Amino acid sequence: MEQGVRNTPERTAFYAKIDRDNLSALWNVMDALITPEPRSACRPALWPFDTIRSYMLEAGGLVTAKEAERRVLILENPGLRGQSKITTSLYAGVQLVMPGEVAPSHRHSQSALRFVLEGSGAHTAVEGERILMQPGDFVITPSNAWHDHGNASSEPMFWLDGLDIPVVQFLDASFVERLAEDEQPLTVPDKDSFARYGHNLLPVDLKHSTKTSPILIYPYDHTREALEQMQRRNAWDPCHGLRMKYTNPVNGDYALPTIGAFIQLLPKGFSTSRYRSTDATVFVPVEGRGRSRIGDALFEWGPKDVFVVPSWCWATHEADEEAVLFSYSDRPIHEKLDLLREDRGNA
């Protein structure tokens, strides 16, 4: 059976006529709108941290954190250049705060995560609470929460920013406000959110109306301890090794409503089975070295590098030594809209 509608002079004239009234024919674009499988412009890519770090330090000598508001280099997917996207729905950037600097306080509709790459002693302040950051810590900034960053240490501080900017932009729901002062008043004791919500305990009278976790920091030492304990059972998933998600203790959902964050452990010599899913995923090795085959591309990675697996793209990972990988994706959106699809290959 012949597919598609052939063009004729009469049909061409009809299309031109309806175009003047902002109409178009579905039958001419159906195949592009409803595809048999995802067709993403997102491409596999890797950004070596050493390269990013060098450029960031150069930027540190050119522009201050206050001038830039956020001194960040955006990781632009090679298939999505000029769009400030690492995947079609997610943003990624590496932020640098130099010793003595403050990145001024603001708040916005977009939800944000920070994954600390290098440095100790710097902080982010979120809704009046100062969060001291160490490498491997997973830190969240809820939507519309006041936040600023400072570095009282003697060394540069680097972290990965992950935001749902493309999602909020697509929904035309972006708002931003800036505080008159660079730093917000600190009104909450240090470590308060983790003390209240991070120990499998919740205040009995908790009234938490947002869909974001009340825990602002998930410290890496706690995360690593959990992985170490769990691996003693040798319960390895063939596609993921040992992979866990960061959760909201109030409802057991993801820590952020639009971004799922994960941590996984691959033992030395472990090679995963092929896996693909509809949620494009950004990975950051925390420990160890190895390689990932993503589609037809092969990437060698080490600590603090960043790489991306596009939607519905086959991927495998192999660890040369025990490796820990942090990752984030838009999986919460896929799950809530019943769009998530996975393929475990030969697993």
Homologous superfamily of domain range 45-343: Jelly Rolls (2.60.120.10)
Per the listing, tokens 């992950």 go with: 162
Task: Please give the pLDDT value at position 11.
Answer: 96
How many other C-beta atoms lie within 10 A of the C-beta of residue 120? 13
Task: Please give the pLDDT value at position 1.
Answer: 35
Q: Answer yes or no: are the C-beta atoms of 265 and 326 closer than 8 Å.
A: no
The two tokens of residue 67 are 């001038």
Name the residue among 144, 120, 114 with its Cα closest to residue 132. 120
Q: Answer yes or no: are the C-beta atoms of 244 and 227 closer than 8 Å.
A: yes
Task: Give residue 321's Cα distance to chain centre.
Answer: 25
Task: List the alpha helices (DSSP H) in the chain.
Answer: 9-19, 30-33, 49-60, 65-68, 165-170, 192-197, 220-230, 331-336
Task: Please give the pLDDT value at position 345.
Answer: 84
Q: How far apart are CA 306 and CA 83, in angstroms?
A: 18
Please report the DSSP string for 300-341 in residue order.
EE-TT-EEEE-TT--EEEEESS-EEEEEEESHHHHHHTT---
Q: How far apart are CA 159 and CA 115, in angstroms?
A: 5
Strand residues in 20-156 grouped as ranges (E): 45-47, 72-74, 91-97, 102-108, 112-118, 122-126, 129-132, 138-141, 147-151
pTM of the predicted protein model: 0.95
Task: Please give the pLDDT value at position 188.
Answer: 95
If the chain, 347 residues long, is cut into consecutive pieces of 10 residues, what is the mean pLDDT of each piece? 78 97 96 94 98 97 94 98 98 97 96 97 95 97 96 96 98 96 94 92 86 96 95 91 96 97 98 98 98 98 98 98 98 98 85
Task: Please give the pLDDT value at position 2.
Answer: 47
Cα angle at 9 between 6 and 11, to 5 degrees? 60
Q: Answer yes or no: are the C-beta atoms of 230 and 263 closer than 8 Å.
A: no
φ, ψ for residue 233, nearest 5 deg: -90, -5
Q: How far apart are CA 171 and CA 325, in angstroms?
A: 31
Task: Please give the pLDDT value at position 233.
Answer: 87
Task: Please give the pLDDT value at position 238.
Answer: 96
Task: Please give the pLDDT value at position 212.
Answer: 96
φ, ψ for residue 167, nearest 5 deg: -65, -50
Number of helical H runs and strand E runs in the chain: 8, 22
Q: How far apart are CA 234 and CA 101, in angstroms?
A: 45
Q: Where are the domains of the chain?
A: 45-343
